[in-house]
A and B are shown apart, each in its own frame.
Chain A
Amino acid sequence: SQQGEEDPQALSIQEGENATMNCSYKTSINNLQWYRQNSGRGLVHLILIRSNEREKHSGRLRVTLDTSKKSSSLLITASRAADTASYFCATDATFNYQLIWGAGTKLIIKP
């Protein structure tokens, strides 16, 4: 099931530029996670932000969370061609191990 909406659906930028993707959700959450999926592959966990956190960094990734607006953003700085992938947000609303997935943003980095 999906509760998240991500925008944009697709994003194409030049290598070196920053990429920003947004995710909105509907219910209260315990945490929100971002995953990356290369074409035809499984998903890789990128970063998790808890509901009591507002911002988190991991390398070139910066995630923000606004629980009042029920939204999150993922910023990838200094993009590289290898960042080309689809990015999904997933919310953890309960502790039953199920995540609720957004529709994903397809990111293309042009060399």
Chain B
Amino acid sequence: GAVVSQHPSWVICKSGTSVKIECRSLDFQATTMFWYRQFPKQSLMLMATSNEGSKATYEQGVEKDKFLINHASLTLSTLTVTSAHPEDSSFYICSARDQIVGRTSGSNTGELFFGEGSRLTVL
């Protein structure tokens, strides 16, 4: 199946610093990528939809200036947590769909491919 690489896997930073997380589709192109946040023992919370070449679409309650998303190419989206604070500590996960119909499974089934996640700890 298609592979999504997310980096870094974990990061510890001081309060007030900014952290960038990268999400790459390694063997397919992704016009759209999704960024999620997951709290311990909870489900995924969609933060924003990242669109290649245009502005990201943020979910209600997610601060655009806090969580900067850039999708400059068909294989790379980045999430920057600006001026991080301890409450931003969480597990961040990206996902993408293979845009080429029929390439991976014979039809555009809507399957999402996930990165391994990035655990952010803000001290």
- Report A110 CB to chain B, min CB distance, Å: 19
- Report A27 CB to chain B, min CB distance, Å: 16
Asked whether any CB of chain A lies closer than 8 Å to the CB of B93, the reply is yes
Q: A88-B44, A102-B43, A103-B42 are in contact. Are A45 and B119 (CB under 8 A)?
A: no
- A31 touching B109 by the CB < 8 A rule? yes
- A101 touching B117 by the CB < 8 A rule? no
Asked whether any CB of chain A lies closer than 8 Å to the CB of B27, the reply is no
- Report A45 CB to chain B, min CB distance, Å: 5
Interface residues of B in 67-123 (CB under 8 A from A): 91, 93, 95, 97, 109-117, 119
Interface residues of A in 32-47 (CB under 8 A from B): 33, 35, 40-45
- A45 touching B111 by the CB < 8 A rule? yes
In whole angstroms, what is the CA distance A17 to B20 when docked?
A: 43
Asked whether any CB of chain A lies closer than 8 Å to the CB of B46, the reply is yes
Residues of A within 8 A of B59 (CB): 1
Asked whether any CB of chain B lies closer than 8 Å to the CB of A11, the reply is no
- B34 touching A101 by the CB < 8 A rule? no
A41-B116, A99-B110, A104-B42 given; 14 more Cβ-contact pairs under 8 Å:
A30-B110, A35-B112, A40-B119, A41-B117, A42-B95, A42-B115, A43-B93, A45-B111, A45-B113, A48-B111, A90-B112, A97-B49, A101-B46, A104-B43
Residues of B within 8 A of A (CB): 1, 4, 6, 32, 34, 41-44, 46, 49, 59, 91, 93, 95, 97, 109-117, 119
Going nearest first, the 9 A-B pairs with the smallest beta carbon separation are: A42-B114, A43-B114, A42-B116, A103-B43, A45-B111, A42-B117, A101-B43, A92-B110, A101-B44
